[in-house]
Amino acid sequence: MSRFTFGLPEELRSYIHAVSLRETPLQKRLRDETAKLPQGGMQISPEQGQLMALLARLIGAKFYLEIGTFTGYSALSVAAALPADGRAICCDVSAEWTAIAKRYWQEAGLAARIELRLAPAVETLDALLASGQAGSVDLAFIDADKTGYAAYLERVWQLMRPNGLLLVDNVLWGGKVADSAASSPDTDALRAFNLRLKDDARFDISLLPIGDGLTLARKR
């Protein structure tokens, strides 16, 4: 959440897309198919996908780790920006949603570059650490269950190389994090996570009001 940058008037969003969005026809088809799902609001905005791809290129990412893949738009965007010998590991628990992702990855010619691991993300992250992958991830994206963000952060920090970049989605949560009257397990977890990351000296951070709020965190 959300398929569009939160809080932007429609006319401004349309203008931004008209003058800057370089979405491929394949990305557009995936976005349109996903929008028809009851859970379609979980998809990232196309401008966020484009930013993520740009960041991957800027830092020369070769190893991308994604926690929460849904129908694969973010992985499709970033994997296309990796070099030919790059790789992506995507963590999710839904065979149904990721079956859509795999179709589009295959059509894009990126299936060999993306490894999907269907299991609770903590299990996958712990397995990567146990296999000696600490300090190897260049770019990571957290966009899964919000109550799990704190646990994911600790494991991703270990897996990332120094100067690696972490992207954390949904940190504005439709504005609920700033609404003192709003309370739910997800909302409360995101508030706590945002404050925790603000005071985490292991990272340099910046919260961008793109999509549903995206925090960039560089590992020192």
Please give the Cα distance from 99 to 106 (Å, whole number): 11
pTM: 0.96
- pLDDT of 66-124, one tens digit each? 999 999 999 999 999 999 999 999 999 999 999 999 999 999 999 999 999 999 999 99
> What's the pLDDT score for residue 193?
98
DSSP class of 127 = H
- pLDDT of 42-71, one tens digit each? 999 999 999 999 999 999 999 999 999 999
H helices, E strands: number in the chain: 8, 7
- Return the CA Rg of the chain: 16
> What's the pLDDT score for residue 5?
79
Residues 6, 213: contact at Cβ < 8 Å? yes
Question: Quick one: tokens of 33?
Answer: 């198919």
Residues 214, 206: contact at Cβ < 8 Å? no
